[in-house]
Chains A and B, each alone.
Chain A
Amino acid sequence: MLSYLTLIFVCQLLGELITGALAIPVPGPVLGMVLLLGFLVLRRQVPEELDRTATGLLGAMSLLFVPAGAGVMMHFRLLGEALVPLGVALILSTVLTILVTGLMMRWLGKGAEE
């Protein structure tokens, strides 16, 4: 477990280094995900230990947003005077984004479905 946790950290660190040095507009961990994907493509399989480590981390992913979420709630007064336009725009825009992306993928992805 420790060896693959190390691999995950190395991928993240490399991701942070590369995105920082080349000023690529994606977060370091996202590039780290691409690097780990590259490793898996080369290995042609997911090592069992890596699978266990990843499943453990991903199973807890919702929990990981709680500290940032609490920070947000403490800054709610920032929303203050613009509460109505922000609230309405956020809700409608998010619903629209989900609908458009989902429907378009269903429509375009039809041919690829088994």
Chain B
Amino acid sequence: MSNLQETWVYLSASPLFHLTLTLVAFQAALKLFEKAGRNPLLNPVLGAVLIVVAVLWATGTDYGTYFEGAQFVHFLLGPATVALAVPLYRQLHRVRQSALAIVASLLTGSFVAMISAVLLVRVMGGAEEIMISIAPKSVTAPVAMGIAEQLGGVPSLTAVLVIVTGIFGAMFGPMILTVAGVRDWSARGLAIGTASHGIGTARALQVNETAGAFAGLAMGLNALATAILLPVLWALFF
């Protein structure tokens, strides 16, 4: 018995345990999502995060210890982003065909994402610091945090808002687009990638390769557009 306990103490501090926890939690959340007929409310990323947080909380594990194991999964985000070039290459003829439409829609969406978030927080009486922190919420985390820091926001708050925006967009984006009558896969992908970066792109890829390619493209372009436009807009209007 004490042998088992010792082994547990050893394992619970080793990277293997938290790496496995991440994988098992995701498999469980994915099973649930599939069983429920892909109900968007049971989004697998959200489900897995909730399971992981519950286990960490129950075992009194701090996030740093968890991340020592989970970093191996987290690390693959970079290579996965690079790999988006493959579906994008397959859609290159469609991207070329509608390059102007893509750029115009993306810039408009990027603009709406920033301005609407800032104005809504302002109307509800939020502080300036909060307005800056939410402005880049639709952009992939490292870029969003950099912009928030540069303009005097709170980068860690921005990171929270970015992830929640991504999960929300992945959960409800497809439904919103269907209700609005947007059926074309390239338009659906572009909208989800612009609004909810990589998490939305991952969702789009599961549904359709064209949507995934356009979402990945939109994620990259919106990071660039927001990084350039937001500091200018902020200086002009506030």
Beta-carbon contact of B101 and A33 below 8 Å: no
What number of A residues sit within 8 Å (CB to CB) of B?
Answer: 76
Beta-carbon contact of B94 and A112 below 8 Å: yes
Chain B, residue nearest A43 (CB)? B89
Binding site for B on A (CB under 8 A): 5, 8-9, 11-12, 15, 25-30, 32-37, 39-41, 46, 50-51, 53-55, 57-76, 78-79, 82, 84-86, 88-106, 108-109, 112-113
Beta-carbon contact of A26 and B191 below 8 Å: no
Provided the pairs A58-B87, A64-B77, A85-B130 are in contact, do residues A101 and B108 lie with their beta carbons within 8 angstroms?
yes
In the complex, number of A-B residue pairs with CB atoms less than 8 Å apart: 321
A40 to chain B, nearest CB (A): 4
Beta-carbon contact of B163 and A102 below 8 Å: no
B71 to chain A, nearest CB (A): 7
Q: Which of A79, A96, A104 contacts B104 (CB 8 A)?
A: A104
**In the assembled complex, B42 has its CB within 8 A of some CB on chain A:** no
Beta-carbon contact of A105 and B101 below 8 Å: yes
Beta-carbon contact of A37 and B143 below 8 Å: no
Beta-carbon contact of A68 and B195 below 8 Å: no
* Residues 209-238 of B at the A interface (beta carbon under 8 Å): 212, 216, 218-220, 223-224, 227-228
Beta-carbon contact of B117 and A90 below 8 Å: yes
18 A-B pairs with C-beta separation under 8 A: A29-B78, A33-B220, A35-B85, A54-B87, A61-B205, A69-B167, A75-B156, A75-B159, A85-B130, A86-B161, A89-B121, A92-B120, A99-B177, A99-B191, A101-B191, A105-B101, A105-B184, A105-B186
Q: Enumerate chain A residues within 8 angstroms of B195, measured Cβ to Cβ.
A: 94, 97-98, 101
How far apart sit A68 and B187, CA to CA, in the bound complex (Å)? Answer: 28
Beta-carbon contact of B130 and A65 below 8 Å: no
Among the interface residues B70, B182, B228, which one has the most CB atoms of the partner chain A within 10 A? B182
Q: Enumerate chain A residues within 8 angstroms of B182, measured Cβ to Cβ.
A: 102-103, 105-106
Which 4 pairs show the lowest CB-CB distances between chains A and B?
Answer: A101-B109, A25-B227, A102-B191, A108-B101
* Residues 118-145 of B at the A interface (beta carbon under 8 Å): 120-121, 124-127, 130, 134, 137-138, 140-143
Q: Which of B73, B90, B109, B163 contacts A100 (CB 8 A)?
A: B109
